[in-house]
Structure 1
Amino acid sequence: MRMKLAFLVATALVATPSYLLAQEKGGVINVATIGEPPTLDPMTSTADLVGIVTQHIFETLYTFDKKWAVTPLLAESLPDVSADGKTYTIKLRTGIKFHDGSDMTSEDVVASLNRWVKLASRGKQAGAFILSIAAGDPATVVIKLKQPYAPLASLLAFNNSAAIIIPAEKQADTMTDFIGTGPYMLKERKADQYIQLVRFNDYKPRSGDSDGYGGARHQYLDEIRFVPVPDANTRVEAAVSGQYDYVDSLPVESYDKLKSSTATQPLVLKPFGYPVFVFNTAAGLTKNVAMRKAIRQALSMEDMMAAAFGGTDFYAPDGNIYPRNFAWSTNAGVAGNYNIADPEGAATTAKKAGYNGEPIRILTSRQYEFHYKMAQVAAEYLKLAGFTVDLQVVDWATLTQRRTDKALWDIYISHSPFLPEPALIGSLSPSSPGWWDTPERKSVVDAFTTEVDPKKRIELWANVQQAMYDEVPFMKIGDFNAVSAISTKLKGVDPAPWPYFWNASIKK
C-alpha cells in the first residue's frame, strides 16, 4: 500500500478531469521542444526529447498507467511468468498494423527485441539475463532467462532506450524507415525546423479508458508538429504570446509571467525529478574515484539548486535518490557525502589523488537553462578548490552525441524524472555513458534485480544507493519541479514527465 501511495503522490500522472471532457476531432498543434532530437530511433538514445517525440510513432509491448504500474500496450496482457521466474510468455494483440500496412506478428516482436538487446543500453542491461527470445506462435513470444530478473517488464515498458516494435525487415542498426504502430506516423522532418506527425488511420487503440500512458490512445488531432526552440527565453516569450500550443521545459522564474497570460497557462509537475552530474568513470581525470570524491566534496548542491530554480517552491536539497514519499527512499550513503561545499578540503583531497592542474571538461547545454546555471555555480566552487575548469556549452543534440565518446568529457549534466523502477536509472547499466562497471556495482545491482520479493527489493535498493555514494558514478543535486506551458485551447493533456498528445484536442 505504501508503494502504491508513493506513486500516486509522487508522480504527475494522476488523472485529471481534462481527458473526460467531450473532445472535438481535427486540427493541428505545434509543440515547442528544447531542441532537435539527435535521432528518431528511441532504441539507440536515452535522451528524453527522443522519447517525447517518438512515443507517438512507435509502441512497446508494455507501458505505465497513471499509478506507474506496468500495463499492456501491444501485448494482450501482462506476461505469464513461470514459477521459477525464468520464463515470460507474452500474448500479443492481433490485428495491429504497422504504418506500412503490414500486420504485426511475433516474428516482428522477436526481431525487435533482439535488436533492442543488441543496440539499446537498457536492452543490453536486460540482455545479460536473457537466454533466448523466440516465437511460440504468430501471437506469442517466449523470453527465457538465465535467472529471475525483476525489472524486465518495466524495461520493456520504458520509452527511453525503448524496446519498440518495428517490422522484422526494418531491423538495420541505423534506422532509415521510421515505421511503427503508433497513433501518429512520421510525414516529414526538416532539420531544425519541425517534425511533422500525422494521424495513422489504421491505428487500433486498446479498449477502455485512457490510463496514464496506458489504456486507449485517441487520435483527435490531425497533426502534431514538434518545433525545436533551443533558447529558453524564446520559449517563454512564445508561450506567453500563444505562439505554440504546448511549450516544454521552461525556467521556473517564468511561472508568474505565464500565469498572467491570456493565451497560455503554466503546467507544473511536482515533484518532477532530479538533476545529475554524471562522471566518466572509464577514461580521463574522473576515472579515478578519489578525484570524483574530491569534486563532490567541493560542491554546494544547495547553491546550485538555488541558482537553477530560485525559490524553494521549486526545489529541495535532498541526497536520497528517491524523495521520502517513495517506498524506495533511503538515507544510505548520504551522510557526509552530500552538499559538503568544502572547496578547501577538496583541494587537499584532489592533491592526494594526484591532481596536477588538468582541466575538468564539463558538458552542458543552455537548452535546459537550469543545467547551465548549475554548471556555472559548480565551476566557481571547483575553481576555489584549485581545479581548472573547461565548461563546454553545446546544444543538447551535440551533448548526447559527445557523451558517447569516452575521450571527450569528464562530467555531463543531465536530469531524470523519478522512475517507477530504480533499475531504469541509466547509470546502473555499464553500457550507459559514464560506464560504471565495477565488481561492487555488479554485486549490488545483480542482487537487487534478481530478487522478486518487493519488500526485500526495497532493502536491497539501499545497498545500491550506498554503492553509488561509495563509487560516485554520478551525483544527485536535489529534487525539482518542472514547468511547461499549455494553450488555453488545448484539452486532454495531463501533466506527465514525457508529455504525450494522443487524447489531446483543440477547443473550437
Structure 2
Amino acid sequence: MKFKIALLLATALVAAPSILSAQEKGGVINVATIGEPPTLDPMASTADLVGMTTQHIFETLFTFDAEWKVIPLLAETMPVISADGKTYDITLRKDVKFHDGTTMTSADAVASIERWMSIASRGKQAAPYIERVEATGDLSLKITLKSSYAPLMSLLAFNNSAAVILPKANLADPLTKIIGTGPYMLKERKADQYIQLVRFDGYKARSEKASGFGGARKAILDEIRFVPVPDANTRLQGAVSGQFDYTDSIAPENFDRLKASTASQPVVLKPFGAPVFVMNMKEGMMTSKVLRHAIQVALNPEDMLLAAFGNPEFFAVDGALYPEGYVWHTKEGIERYGSGDPEAAAKLMKEAGYDGKPVRILTSRQYEFHYKMAQVAAEYLKAAGFAVDLQVFDWATLTQRRADPAQWDIFITHGPFPADPALNGWMSDSYPGWWANDAKHAAVDPFLAEPDLQKRIALFGAVQKTFYEEAPVFKVGDFNALSAEAKTLHNVQPSPWPYFWNVTTDKK
C-alpha cells in the first residue's frame, strides 16, 4: 500500500550500513518534543506525543513495515485466519521478557487486549465485532469475531491508542506501572523536564531485517531523553545550536535556517498528513448539522494553510481524505470543500437559528500551525456572524479538555494518512467529537465488514461522501512536516512517529 513518504535531503540523512554495523553500543540523545505527554499509557490516548514516546517502551502483537503492511512483532507469525474471516489464531514469540524480568504469555496478551477493548478508543472501535479473546495455550490465543471485520489487523498493529501487551499482574486503570517488552524502559520521569528511557538489556529483537516499525529493533543507544520544549522558537534554536539531537515540529519558514546549520539538518515528511477541525457532535451548537455546514462553508482552507505554513512547498489545498497516489484517493463529496464563503454561511446560520453564543475553539501554540490556522478561521467565522471564543492551552491540557463535551465546540488537531482509513480517529464512535449517528454507520459499516481490498476501495467513496455531508470534521488540506536531526545522529528513519531504536550517535 502506497504511503508516499518522501524524504528531502535523503542522501544527507541515511548513514551507510557499513558504518552503522561498526558502531558500538552507547550514547545519550535528547529529543525535543512539543510538550509533555498527557499520559504514558499508550492505550489511554490518541495523542502523537504518547505514541512517539511509548513505542520505545511497549510493543504490540503486530506492527507496520516500511510499506505500511501489517507484519508480526510480538506475535511469532501472522495469524491463521479462518475462511469466514471470523477467527484469528495467533502464536506468540517464545521467551519475550517484560522489563520486570517476567516472561510474556498468552494470559498477558488476552488480558491486555481485553483492557484495550475497554479503555482505548481504537479498542472500542473493534470491541463490537469481537465475540471473545481466549488463550489456547501458553503461547497461543484466539480472537473470535461476531462478523468479518477488515481493519482488525491494522488496529492491532497501530501504535496510537495502541493494543500493547502488558504484564497481566500490572493491569490497572489508570496504569501505574510503566512496564513493557520494548527495547527501552522507563528510568525516570520529571514532569515538564524530561522522560528518561534506558536500554533494556533483556530485550529480544526479531531476526528479520529492520523495515518501518518492524523487523530487528536494536537498542544501541544507552539512553533517550524526551525533553518537552513547548516554545517553537526555543526548539528551533536548540536544533540549530546542536543542543537537541532530534527536534520535532519546526515551522516550515525555518527550513533555510536548518539547512544552513552546521549542527543539524532538516528532515521533511512529504506529505505528512492533514490538519483538521473536529466538531463536537455530542453536546452544544455543533450537534446541528446545518451549523456544521455553516462552518464548512465559511472557512477558507487556502488562507489557513498559507498562514500556517507560508511556503506553498509545504502544503496542498486538497479536500480528498487521501491525496492522489494512495489507493484510498477519491473525489466523492469534495464539492463541499473549500468555498470560504461567509455570506453563504450566514444564511445557513439563520436557517439553524444561531443564537449568538460563542463558538469555543480549542487550540495550542505548541503546534504553532494549529494556532495560526485558528486565528484565520476565527476571522472567517466572525465575518459570517459567529461569535468566537479562541481558547489556547498546552497540548496535554487540550487533550484532557476535549474529553469533556461540555467544554468545547471545535478542537484543532492533525494526523498522518494511515494505512487503513479505519485508523483515522473520527472513524471511532468514541473519539472526541463523537460522530456516531445512523448516517455514519450506513456508510462505514459495509466498508469495515468487506474483506476484499478492491471492494473496500470502492466503498470508501461512500464513506468520504458521508464525511462531507455530515461534516463531523473539517479537513483543512495536506501538509508536509519539518523536523531536525543532529549531524551526529545516524539511521533515523523518517516517520510520523519518530523512533530511535537502530539509531547511533557519534556523541559518547
Does the 8 A contact of 2:32 with 2:229 survive in 1? yes
Instruction: State the match for 2:475 in structure 1.
Output: 476
Matched, 1:67 2:67: yes
Once the two structures are superposed, the pairs formed by residues 455-494 of structure 1 within 5 Å of their partners are: 455-494=454-493
- Alpha-carbon distance in structure 2 between the residues aligned to 1:168 and 1:310: 49
Structure 2: runs of 5+ lacking an equivalent: none
Letter in structure 2 aligned against 1:162: A
Moved >4 Å (runs of 4+): 10-17
Q: When the two structures are superposed, what TM-score results if normalisation uses the length of structure 2?
A: 0.97
Does the 8 A contact of 1:24 with 1:507 survive in 2? no
Once the two structures are superposed, the pairs formed by residues 277-288 of structure 1 within 5 Å of their partners are: 277-288=277-288
RMSD: 1.3
Task: Report the Cα offset of residue 360 of structure 1.
Answer: 0.1
- Alpha-carbon distance in structure 1 between the residues aligned to 2:103 and 2:16: 30
Does the 8 A contact of 1:45 with 1:160 survive in 2? yes
- Alpha-carbon distance in structure 1 between the residues aligned to 2:15 and 2:65: 16
- Alpha-carbon distance in structure 2 between the residues aligned to 1:383 and 1:473: 20
Letter in structure 2 aligned against 1:147: S
Does the 8 A contact of 2:27 with 2:506 survive in 1? no
Matched, 1:319 2:316: no
Letter in structure 2 aligned against 1:342: D
Instruction: State the match for 1:205 in structure 2.
Output: 205
Distance 1:452-1:121 versus aligned 2 partners, 3 A rule: same
Matched, 1:38 2:38: yes
Does the 8 A contact of 2:14 with 2:492 survive in 1? no
Structure 1: runs of 5+ lacking an equivalent: none
Instruction: State the match for 2:310 in structure 1.
Output: 310
Does the 8 A contact of 1:346 with 1:385 survive in 2? yes
Letter in structure 2 aligned against 1:408: Q
- Alpha-carbon distance in structure 1 between the residues aligned to 2:258 and 2:312: 19
Does the 8 A contact of 2:121 with 2:431 survive in 1? yes
Instruction: State the match for 1:220 in structure 2.
Output: 220
Distance 1:116-1:11 versus aligned 2 partners, 3 A rule: farther
Once the two structures are superposed, the pairs formed by residues 411-422 of structure 1 within 5 Å of their partners are: 411-422=410-421
Letter in structure 2 aligned against 1:265: Q
- Alpha-carbon distance in structure 1 between the residues aligned to 2:364 and 2:448: 33
Once the two structures are superposed, the pairs formed by residues 181-192 of structure 1 within 5 Å of their partners are: 181-192=181-192
Letter in structure 2 aligned against 1:235: R
Does the 8 A contact of 1:11 with 1:272 survive in 2? no
Letter in structure 1 aligned against 2:264: T
- Alpha-carbon distance in structure 2 between the residues aligned to 1:330 and 1:34: 33
- Alpha-carbon distance in structure 2 between the residues aligned to 1:357 and 1:203: 58
1:215-273 superposed Cα distances (whole Å, 9 cap, x missing partner): 00011100000000001111111111111000001101110000010000000001100
Does the 8 A contact of 1:277 with 1:477 survive in 2? yes
- Alpha-carbon distance in structure 1 between the residues aligned to 2:258 and 2:442: 48
Q: When the two structures are superposed, what TM-score results if normalisation uses the length of structure 1?
A: 0.97
SS in structure 2 at match of 1:466: helix
Does the 8 A contact of 1:59 with 1:73 survive in 2? yes
- Alpha-carbon distance in structure 1 between the residues aligned to 2:176 and 2:128: 28
Letter in structure 2 aligned against 1:142: K
Letter in structure 2 aligned against 1:24: E
- Alpha-carbon distance in structure 2 between the residues aligned to 1:445 and 1:245: 42
SS in structure 2 at match of 1:113: helix
Letter in structure 2 aligned against 1:210: A
Matched, 1:405 2:412: no
- Alpha-carbon distance in structure 1 between the residues aligned to 2:341 and 2:324: 26
Instruction: State the match for 1:276 in structure 2.
Output: 276
1:438-478 superposed Cα distances (whole Å, 9 cap, x missing partner): 11111211100110011000001111111100101101100
Matched, 1:47 2:44: no
Q: 2:15 aligns with which of 14, 18, 23?
A: 18
Letter in structure 1 aligned against 2:252: V
Does the 8 A contact of 1:294 with 1:347 survive in 2? yes
SS in structure 2 at match of 1:358: coil
Instruction: State the match for 1:89 in structure 2.
Output: 89
- Alpha-carbon distance in structure 1 between the residues aligned to 2:136 and 2:187: 35
Letter in structure 2 aligned against 1:380: E
Task: Report the Cα offset of residue 10 of structure 1.
Answer: 4.2
1:329-388 superposed Cα distances (whole Å, 9 cap, x missing partner): 0001001x1111100111111111010111000000000000000000000000100100
Task: Report the Cα offset of residue 19 of structure 1.
Answer: 6.8
Matched, 1:499 2:485: no
Does the 8 A contact of 1:10 with 1:326 survive in 2? no
Q: Number of aligned pairs? A: 502
Does the 8 A contact of 1:19 with 1:493 survive in 2? no
Instruction: State the match for 2:382 in structure 1.
Output: 383
Once the two structures are superposed, the pairs formed by residues 93-492 of structure 1 within 5 Å of their partners are: 93-335=93-335, 337-492=336-491
1:394-445 superposed Cα distances (whole Å, 9 cap, x missing partner): 0000000000001000000000111011000110111000000111111211
- Alpha-carbon distance in structure 2 between the residues aligned to 1:11 and 1:259: 17
Does the 8 A contact of 2:14 with 2:490 survive in 1? no
SS in structure 1 at match of 2:444: helix
SS in structure 1 at match of 2:36: coil
Does the 8 A contact of 1:57 with 1:181 survive in 2? yes
SS in structure 1 at match of 2:406: coil
Distance 1:288-1:19 versus aligned 2 partners, 3 A rule: farther
Letter in structure 2 aligned against 1:477: V
- Alpha-carbon distance in structure 2 between the residues aligned to 1:160 and 1:118: 15
- Alpha-carbon distance in structure 1 between the residues aligned to 2:62 and 2:136: 19
Letter in structure 1 aligned against 2:504: S
Does the 8 A contact of 1:279 with 1:411 survive in 2? yes
1:79-133 superposed Cα distances (whole Å, 9 cap, x missing partner): 1100000000011001100000000000000000000000000001000100000
- Alpha-carbon distance in structure 2 between the residues aligned to 1:344 and 1:123: 42
Task: Report the Cα offset of residue 18 of structure 1.
Answer: 2.8
Does the 8 A contact of 2:33 with 2:248 survive in 1? yes
Distance 1:163-1:11 versus aligned 2 partners, 3 A rule: farther
Does the 8 A contact of 2:318 with 2:477 survive in 1? yes
- Alpha-carbon distance in structure 2 between the residues aligned to 1:338 and 1:10: 25
Calculate percent identity across the aligned residue pairs. 61
1:129-172 superposed Cα distances (whole Å, 9 cap, x missing partner): 00000001011110000000010000000000000000011111
